[in-house]
Structure 1
């Protein structure tokens, strides 16, 4: 159980270090807002946490505002802000209603006013006023999620189906200024892709969006295809943007925590971007190589893998990665692999991720379960639940990608 205990310690330490409180405070520390109104709009999985810090710092200066976050991610009232919870990863009616309310709050502002826009991952689903029907958008989003499309490809498409993404929300705020504070959940911190860039000029093109549709074999209704051919804003003159956090900090904090536990560490990358099963197999191969080295090692990789859904099970990319690794480390009594999402939710589950060690395969086999069958059905959640391998944190208040760790005891 020591490897599992170490995994929990590393995970919790990394998440705490990635909370946006200090980053938001730093971004507001020397910011002058003049005498105009301040309207706060916070979107994403970390919206409540970011808004809480801003309200505390700007004590009494915020005229009105709204927090739009995922179901279960609000932690209570934040006067004078309205709190809305909505659908993620697929937008729902509350996404549309909350976004319409945000648009109403920024209407009629003057040049001396400011929209304080707090952006975190998850905003693409939560902040939405579609140019097509909600049902069409939900279908396209679900198809993209199942296709194995990476987040940049998804957002290149989604921003063209929306009247608030791809810089369009900043236009709606004009002539007021927009001060955007962004918590990054995308590798490389592309500001026009995080939450689909509602307040940042779009660097992608219609041709790229159409190419992504072809690549991932997404079927579009005629009105959606027409929307993809409409170009997005390439310049905005009323926006100032500050980026506050990323997977680099999550990985660094995880590495520090492992070192305090006595591990020699190696950070492979903060740009992991491949199929979850492949990443799990790769970490397992490293585990087999060094299991008998006599060293206490922790190998870390930050980023965001993808899952190509072809089964009808329940799970997420981090759970699938851990379970795929279990096949490769089977029988090794000093090796474990765990992976988690910093927001505390992995796919459509209540788990942050998964943990597997050298006994996981045997535990499942004794229950008549083959890992290969589970992976074929994308059902890692139920398999890991049977081995005690689910990592549960609840909503964390941050969202800066995933961290995957190989431990050799």
Structure 2
């Protein structure tokens, strides 16, 4: 099949859905590890020093990040290590590329035994290092679940229950990771402390608003400025239960993390190799290449997904009907990490399926009310929206009309958080498969 050409507005108008897919791919490609790693790699330990290079890490981009290091690292320089990624997120290995870093798979977004076993192995791997050794840590979104090692006295099952409650609560990513860091033996800078006195260089792909390395994957190798008291407040705010003895330890400050200024981080380096803003800029450039004006609202948007969708719809309608604040034709882009608060359902109600991007699209479609000339795509840049097989969904002017013809009422699907069920029946799911990177939510609204 011939790839669509988008070098003019007429080409965009003829295939708006394909054009939005094109922008999504531009955003993803900008964040691929192999294109972003080389300039941040440290030099190997000096020959004859006896120093080792150990690669550790976790995240949805972990497999691709490990392959990038293997492709770029000198063949005559020793390299070893272990990285954990999400199930089915290990990219195909390029022919002729020797494997020097072990990659294992574990569960996301709820941790499992495989992730715990990987965390235990990684922690053991960095014991007894010297100042001549180099630890290269590869971190990307999803690492909070994949690199799980519960605090002493907390079982994996209890950690799983807390994680599920956090995911359903509507808490922001920074709030969730504050709790996770204080209930872990490896997050919140504790992994860096275990590496001492070795030099630690962290390469990270940001999936969080603000690009704070201490929040990405709960910052296992960077200082943590949050506190046990903040974790307690978050748990209480969202009514999340933890075992009584663990809550007592939190209240006493006994599960505190290493803080900024701690000597354990002296000489360490942290590099952001890909960010949401860079991917939005790549999509904007692709839109401008097609002759369209492109506007990036923000790469840090948070809030309830459906409500964020409604706000985007109000802006799109203003552009479409009044030419304010932007003139059409144009593309409006945004990123960040919204949240979905799972609604309680009556017994026997089918379980909703979906994620942040799909919920955004439902809120957007409801508020657009079939506005002519407005098309949209929202997707997670890792290729998986929630726990299903789609990256996100698309909205077009006839979305509501086609749904009614199919006997579907949007408000009913919203009530049970069932974006997947809604857009699947309309053939409007975005299915890309794992992308092997992760710079969080991507949203594009095309107004013709």
- Shorter-chain TM range is over 0.9
CA shift digits 1:280-334 (9 cap, x unpaired) = 1111112222224582121111111111111530000001101211122233331
Inter-partner Cα distance in structure 2 for 1:175 and 1:295: 57
In structure 1, the partner of 2:438 is: 399
Normalised by the length of structure 1, the TM-score is 0.96
Give the secondary structure class of the aligned counterpart of 1:141: helix
In structure 2, the partner of 1:323 is: 362
**Do 2:192 and 2:265's aligned partners in 1 also have CA atoms closer than 8 Å?**
no
Inter-partner Cα distance in structure 1 for 2:265 and 2:28: 35
In structure 2, the partner of 1:31 is: 43
Considering only aligned residues, what root-mean-square deviation do their CA atoms show, in Å? 1.6
Tell me how far 1:172 sits from its aligned partner. Answer: 1.3
**Do 1:124 and 1:155's aligned partners in 2 also have CA atoms closer than 8 Å?**
yes
In structure 1, the partner of 2:276 is: 247
Unaligned runs of 5+ in 1: none
| Structure 2 counterpart of 1:232, from 257, 275, 284 | 257
Tell me how far 1:110 sits from its aligned partner. Answer: 1.7
Q: Which moved more, 1:394-403 or 1:327-336?
A: 327-336
| Structure 1 counterpart of 2:22, from 3, 6, 9 | 9
Inter-partner Cα distance in structure 2 for 1:227 and 1:192: 22
Q: Structure 1 residue 73 and structure 2 residue 89: aligned? A: yes
Q: Structure 1 residue 303 and structure 2 residue 336: aligned? A: yes
- Rate the CA distance shift 1:145–1:16 in 2: closer, same or farther, 3 A: same
**Do 1:64 and 1:105's aligned partners in 2 also have CA atoms closer than 8 Å?**
no
CA shift digits 1:20-65 (9 cap, x unpaired) = 223211101x635324100111310011111111111213324321
| Structure 1 counterpart of 2:239, from 217, 220, 238 | 217
Give the secondary structure class of the aligned counterpart of 1:255: helix
In structure 2, the partner of 1:111 is: 131
In structure 1, the partner of 2:10 is: none
Tell me how far 1:127 sits from its aligned partner. Answer: 0.7
Q: Which moved more, 1:90-99 or 1:279-288?
A: 279-288
- Rate the CA distance shift 1:63–1:244 in 2: closer, same or farther, 3 A: closer
Inter-partner Cα distance in structure 1 for 2:329 and 2:444: 13
CA shift digits 1:375-397 (9 cap, x unpaired) = 11000001101112111111111
Inter-partner Cα distance in structure 1 for 2:147 and 2:434: 19
In structure 1, the partner of 2:105 is: 85
Give the secondary structure class of the aligned counterpart of 2:384: coil
CA shift digits 1:351-384 (9 cap, x unpaired) = 1111111111111111221111101100000110
Q: Structure 1 residue 160 and structure 2 residue 188: aligned? A: no
**Do 2:193 and 2:265's aligned partners in 1 also have CA atoms closer than 8 Å?**
no
Q: Which moved more, 1:53-62 or 1:161-170?
A: 53-62
Tell me how far 1:76 sits from its aligned partner. Answer: 4.6
Tell me how far 1:111 sits from its aligned partner. Answer: 1.6
In structure 2, the partner of 1:102 is: 122
**Do 2:91 and 2:436's aligned partners in 1 also have CA atoms closer than 8 Å?**
no
Unaligned runs of 5+ in 2: 1-13, 345-350
CA shift digits 1:67-107 (9 cap, x unpaired) = 20000101256622222100101100000111111122222
In structure 1, the partner of 2:201 is: 179
Q: Which moved more, 1:242-251 or 1:226-235?
A: 226-235
In structure 2, the partner of 1:49 is: 64
Tell me how far 1:223 sits from its aligned partner. Answer: 3.3
**Do 2:44 and 2:134's aligned partners in 1 also have CA atoms closer than 8 Å?**
no
**Do 1:329 and 1:336's aligned partners in 2 also have CA atoms closer than 8 Å?**
no
Inter-partner Cα distance in structure 2 for 1:124 and 1:227: 21
**Do 2:26 and 2:279's aligned partners in 1 also have CA atoms closer than 8 Å?**
no
| Structure 1 counterpart of 2:160, from 138, 152, 155 | 138
- Rate the CA distance shift 1:309–1:156 in 2: closer, same or farther, 3 A: same
Inter-partner Cα distance in structure 2 for 1:118 and 1:226: 33
CA shift digits 1:237-281 (9 cap, x unpaired) = 352212212111011011111112222222111111111101111
Structure 1 runs (4+) greater than 4 angstroms displaced = none
**Do 1:342 and 1:352's aligned partners in 2 also have CA atoms closer than 8 Å?**
yes
In structure 2, the partner of 1:198 is: 220
Q: Which moved more, 1:277-286 or 1:149-158?
A: 277-286
Inter-partner Cα distance in structure 2 for 1:251 and 1:56: 27
Give the secondary structure class of the aligned counterpart of 2:79: strand
Tell me how far 1:226 sits from its aligned partner. Answer: 3.5
State how many pairs are aligned.
Answer: 408
